[in-house]
Amino acid sequence: MISCGDLDELATPYLDGEAMPVARQAVDEHLAVCPPCRDRLAAEGTARTIVHERRPALCAVTAPPGLRARCAGAAARSAPRPGLRRLFVPMSAAATLLLVVGGLIVYAANSRSATVLAAQLTLDHMKCFALQPSDAPPVDTASIDRAFDARFGWNVDVPQGGGAAPIQLVGARRCFYADGAVAHLLYRHDGHDVSLFLLPHTARPEGLVHVMGHETMIWPERDWTCVLVGQEPPAEMQRIAAYVRDSLHGH
């Protein structure tokens, strides 16, 4: 049976449907007994699908050659050394393209545009859910609250959801956008993906943007801006936003 290291060379032809039958069978056998590799290939496959489906929108905005060169250089420098393969899984070409093109959109357009903000955070929403492990442990909201306080100075209770609430918290990440770090909370709503981004030390005007098949709701909240991203009907997005507002105000 092939090893996790052997999978690196076989992943691309496997996902592209170009692997020989013997190689495909070997990958299938490995994935059947290795959940980390199975999750990794599932995430890479999702990233590739996102890139292919959104390619016209992602490529609609161009950037200066100098910026393209810097993004390409950053992607090359992020590739792990062979000795670290077991610690850091190499990023797939599709995932790298998703990140680089997302960066081009941000820097090539007006950083204060609600549409540009919505486009970038929608990309982060799709990327982070693609990378979210299927067997992730329950979220410790107390740890998230402490991290928010230490990182951003926020004395806030993270909306956990569950029970009668319209959403359930399943993960938390730190992402980056044009103005710096942003807190990303991952939720499920009736089995569907919903993201809540909290942008520190900024007050964007309230608005609703439809981009890449997603609804993006933006509103200011204390010393940050909330951005809710999902593909739910407008009425459900409004209900989720109302729950988030009530939870944040209840602190």
Encode pLDDT of 218-251 as tens digits.
Answer: 999 888 899 999 999 999 999 999 999 998 876 5
**CATH 3.30.200.100, the chain: domain bounds:** 141-249
CATH class of segment(s) 141-249: alpha beta
pLDDT (tens digit per residue) in 45-56: 766 666 666 666
- What is the rounded CA–CA span in Å between residue 163 and residue 176? 31
pTM exceeding the 0.75 threshold for the entire prediction: no
**Mean pLDDT of all residues in the chain?**
76
- What is the rounded CA–CA span in Å between residue 24 and residue 122? 33
Q: Long-range pairs for 7-11 at CB < 8 Å and ≥24 separation?
A: 7/37, 7/41, 8/85, 8/90, 11/40, 11/41, 11/44, 11/92
